[in-house]
A and B are shown apart, each in its own frame.
Chain A
Amino acid sequence: MVTKYDTVIGLEIHVALQTESKFICGCSTEFGAPPNSHCCPICLGLPGALPVLNEKAVEYAIKTGMALNCEINRFSKFDRKNYFYPDMPTAYQITQDAFPICSKGYLEYYYEDKLIKTSLNRIHLECEAGKLIHSGDSIIDSDFSLVDYNRAGIALIEIVTEPDMSAPKQARTFLEQLRLLLNYIGVSDTKMEEGSLRCDANISLKPRGSTVLGPKVELKNLNSFRSLERGLEYEEQRQTEVLEQGGEIRQETRTWNERTGKTASMRSKGDAPDYRFFPEPDLPPLNIDESRVEAISLSIPELPLERLHRLESEYGLSRYESTFLTNYPEFGGLFFELIGKKLQSGAVVNFLMGDYARLAREKGHLTASRIGELLEILKEGLINNNQGKDVLEELYKSEQSPREIVKEKGWEMVSDASELEGVIARILSENPELVSRYENGEDKLFGFFVGQVMRATRGKGDPEVVNSLLRKELGQ
């Protein structure tokens, strides 16, 4: 879209931390359990019950902060965010307002082939609410609403970016890369469909080149990467039209409707709730000492961008291949295991990105040892690539090893020259007309002869041997 405006986007991302127990009590964080089966007086907010912080959640927040180049604040504290809603059993959320656990930071990632940085404002810890299920569309127009407190009290981190992004697609790329990083460091399962990764977006337009931000619109209900991008695109378009018609943008919160493909106003700035923040009196401040930060830094594995660059520089893979292996860590893991088996990086990545990729997505991954054996027998020339595909399909059907499959099916490649010479001689004698056409310069018929030989050997002919014998027979 070519307009007179620059788009400015910032994101607020909530991430449910994958701790075994909740943030404020010992209840399990298991997803999908029967409603209200993982609850206790603390996460139900019963009168007199007090929260006790899960240190693992603090560790995960620090780990995330370090992976995102944040300053880890040696002193941070908790606040109460007061709001009355039935999913919040205490009617206030434990969060960090004035002193978050991590400040600043950035994520570096490739967007449109350029390495760019998106700056972060902060990361803070907070407490998850329960889940409401309405009999109607919303709490206002329902006959009744049900509440499941299994989720209540789970640890969240909120990652807040600076208004640093300039396009909906960039916001999506950022979120995808952030999610990947969170998976790499193992702090969250980041399932958007289960709500363990949620994203709100702020978007405003400003005249091209201006440094003054326009009134921002907060977008909610962006439940997938696609919704994020589409919602922002819609809003970018809507705001542009309003401005071009001489209108003004109102600062407001709007909700994205995936079905209609539109955003609608939820509340204006004037209706914004007053959360009446004040220091949480039930929890002492968090003091993080140096040795703890050091210990946590040792637990941070290779991050996506580091891996991408290593695949390029150490293994000579293309950006495309390296990106694939980085973005799909299971494939990346297999790659490194197979490389360890002395297989060629090129052969391995071709295999992983070829038919295997499709099958693995449909049916799951094979073990590195079975894949390794398949690649070995291909390399040895026991079977050709065509047979390789059949063996791969077979591996999903049986428990047998690739060598056992080849043996049982009789798929060993025919590379014995005398056997192939006989076949070639027969085929050439059966097609004298075609042979003469070929000799008169119709080069493309060579492929036809190869195909005939392969058909006669039921695909088992060693392509290299077949090629060279054919050329010899046809007098080249």
Chain B
Amino acid sequence: MKKLAQLLESKQVSSEEVAQKYLNRIKEKDSEINAFITVDEDGVLQQARAADQRRAQGSPLSKWDGIPIAIKDNISTQGLLTSCASKFLSNYKPVFDATVVSKLKQAGLPIIGKTNLDEFAMGSSTEYSTYGATCNPHDIERVSGGSSGGSAAAVAAEMIPWALGTDTGGSIRQPASFCGVVGLKPTYGRVSRFGVVALAPSLDHVGPLAKSVEDVAILFSLLAGSDPGDSTSAQIGPFAVPSWDGSVVKGLKIGVPEEFFSTGLNSEVEQAVRNSLKMLEEQGATLIPISLASNAYAIDTYLTIVTAEASSSLARFDGIRYGERVDAEDTNTMYAKSRAAGFGTEVKRRIMLGTYVLSASQYEAYYEQAQKVRTIIKQEVSEALKQVDVIITPTTPTPAFKIGEKRDPLELYLSDLYTAIANLSGVPALSLPCGTTSAGLPMGVQVMGDYFSEELILQVGSLIEQGVGGGVSGD
């Protein structure tokens, strides 16, 4: 991205040309990939021309002024369809921008469009979208991952240099891993959630996806910061993109949790992650076997909390204020029929589960129990991060699976097996490519760190990236 910024700075290219280039690429590729729900051709060109004018006057809004971006379609963009890939919001144009979108606009980034996702971000494959599945650019018969599959695939297919995603249980990192790009789930509270359509507010995060660790760091620097509009936002200063001198590796203590390398893990993925670890060790890091035994309960805990919160977050969608009304003999039936028609299967499944776990007779057994386990998981992660600087694991147990392959929802939920722990505890986690399988599918490695240690995990990510020969900017 630095290169592209320099070209814009020296006026060797214009923002308009850059936007046009990506629009052309979308036209060429997206009928196959289906990464975008909305492409705002007029809007992005207009914003790009405004950026060119600012540069001509010598007053760009930032170093990155005029570099376009794509936004996941559950993040509010004023006047631009924000559908959450749901029939319910298929005509919903917000009257306000999410805080992250305002921040990108303040930095001059033209918005090229909105990317596909699982309906209301509920899913791990971007198959549950009312706009159809997003395919993996490395193999269009495979899923892009989810729920930020559209953003990951758009970056991977070079239809956009960077994009925003959201991550509630792995929804940035898992598709990043499947599509061979870099994705960061920041510390809970480090990036504002204001304007991001809620799935599960206590687990929802917003973060960047890009081709390289550095680009992710740059985009993160534009997003991070406390927001008076989000009461759960952390009071912590801005994030500055570090220099990548690799010095962190000397004496770096890397925790390797055995539970993340056991049954169910694809052997090629295991090998790739072990190779990355070995390379870091050779450069001076120490590998320390640790245990995160509570991760065995992470998926159950995650599902209990996410469904509970989602059942509440989605209750407002009624067929009157949102979506289409299905007429019926009485008011309650009208609501019920409208909701039955407006939501997809997976969303309905989760609303029912969530309603059940919160019901007075089940609350103690499920929701309260899940909160207790969540506390234990948090404690275990915090304890582990007192002994080690970072924790490195595979991002997902397998590379991308085939579209339609996972019919059993429980099987699909397991693709968040290694990622949900960072949402439950709130620590930052980065996924980046660590090689490709013999079949040519990307694989991802995950680097987790202590609260607000984004700089460190990005530094470690950068070392892995150099080691595996990544870091190719999308320029």
Contacts and interface: CB of A to CB of B under 8 A. Distances in A.
A41 B96 contact: yes
Contacts of B331: 139-140
Interface stretch (A64-72, A81-89, A192-200, A411-419): A81-89
B193 A50 contact: yes
A147 to B, nearest CB: 9
A282 B194 CA distance: 10
Interface string A78-99: 0010101010011110000000
Given A51-B231, A140-B330, A276 B201 contact: no
Nearest to A84: B315
Contacts of B96: 41, 46, 49
Interface of A: 41, 45-53, 80, 82, 84, 86, 89-92, 139-140, 274, 276-279, 281-284
B410 interface: no
A82 B318 contact: no
A278 B367 contact: yes
B95 A52 contact: no
A48 B316 CA distance: 12
B432 interface: no
B358 interface: yes
A278 B315 contact: no
B231 A91 contact: no
Interface string B298-320: 00000000001101100110101
A140 B75 CA distance: 36
Contacts of A284: 231-232
Given A47-B84, A49-B96, A50-B194, A281 B76 contact: no
A52 B195 contact: no
Nearest to B335: A84
B451 interface: no
A276 B330 contact: no
A281 B309 contact: yes
A279 B200 CA distance: 12
A281 B92 contact: no
Given A47-B76, A48-B76, A281-B309, A276 B360 contact: yes
B230 interface: yes
A278 B370 CA distance: 12
B269 interface: no
17 contacts: A46-B94, A47-B76, A47-B92, A47-B198, A48-B194, A48-B195, A52-B231, A90-B315, A91-B312, A276-B360, A276-B363, A277-B358, A278-B309, A281-B200, A281-B201, A281-B309, A282-B232
Contact of B318 (A46, A49, A86, A278): A86
Contacts of B82: 47
Looking at A51, A84, A283, which has the most chain B CB atoms within 10 Å of its CB? A84
Given A49-B194, A282-B201, 20 more contacts: A41-B94, A41-B96, A46-B95, A47-B197, A47-B198, A48-B196, A48-B197, A52-B228, A52-B231, A80-B312, A82-B312, A82-B315, A82-B358, A84-B315, A86-B320, A89-B316, A139-B331, A276-B312, A277-B358, A281-B232
B107 interface: no
A82 B354 CA distance: 12
A41 B367 CA distance: 29
A225 to B, nearest CB: 33
Interface in B174-204: 193-198, 200-202
B251 interface: no
Give the size range of B's interface with the partner. Answer: 35 or more
Interface of B: 75-76, 82, 84, 89, 92, 94-96, 98, 193-198, 200-202, 228-232, 308-309, 311-312, 315-316, 318, 320-321, 330-331, 335, 355, 358-360, 363, 367, 371
A281 B358 CA distance: 14
A274 B84 contact: no
Given A47-B76, A50-B193, A281 B360 contact: no
Looking at A46, A277, A279, A283, which has the most chain B CB atoms within 10 Å of its CB? A46
Contacts of A282: 198, 201, 231-232
Contacts of A86: 318, 320
A215 to B, nearest CB: 19
Main secondary structure of the interface of A (DSSP, over half): loop
A46 B313 CA distance: 11
Contact of A281 (B202, B320, B363): B202
Contact of B359 (A276, A279, A281): A276
Contacts of B371: 279
Contacts of A283: 231-232
> Closest 9 A-B residue pairs measured CB to CB?
A91-B315, A276-B358, A281-B202, A281-B201, A47-B197, A48-B195, A91-B316, A48-B76, A48-B197
A97 to B, nearest CB: 11
Nearest to B309: A281
A278 B308 CA distance: 9
B316 A90 contact: yes
Nearest to B359: A274
Contacts of A139: 331
Contacts of A90: 315-316
B320 to A, nearest CB: 7
Contacts of A91: 312, 315-316, 318
Nearest to B371: A279
Contacts of A276: 311-312, 355, 358-360, 363
A49 B95 CA distance: 11
Contact of A45 (B308, B316, B355): B316
A457 B231 CA distance: 77
Contacts of A277: 358, 363
B312 A92 contact: yes
A13 to B, nearest CB: 25
A89 B200 CA distance: 18
A50 B231 contact: yes
Looking at B76, B94, B230, B312, which has the most chain A CB atoms within 10 Å of its CB? B312
A454 B20 CA distance: 103
Contacts of A274: 359-360
Contacts of A47: 76, 82, 84, 89, 92, 94, 197-198, 316
Contacts of B229: 50, 52
A140 B312 CA distance: 24
Nearest to A91: B315
Nearest to A44: B321
Contacts of B321: 89
Nearest to B76: A48
Contacts of B84: 47
Contacts of A53: 231
B278 to A, nearest CB: 40
B130 to A, nearest CB: 16
Nearest to B368: A278
Contacts of B228: 52
Contacts of B92: 47
Contact of A48 (B94, B309, B358): B94
Nearest to B332: A140
Looking at A47, A50, A51, A92, which has the most chain B CB atoms within 10 Å of its CB? A47
A105 B17 CA distance: 70
Contacts of B330: 140
Contacts of A82: 311-312, 315, 358
Nearest to B230: A50
Contacts of B196: 48
Contacts of A140: 330-331
B358 A278 contact: yes
A236 B353 CA distance: 43
B363 to A, nearest CB: 8
Contacts of B76: 47-48
Nearest to B198: A48
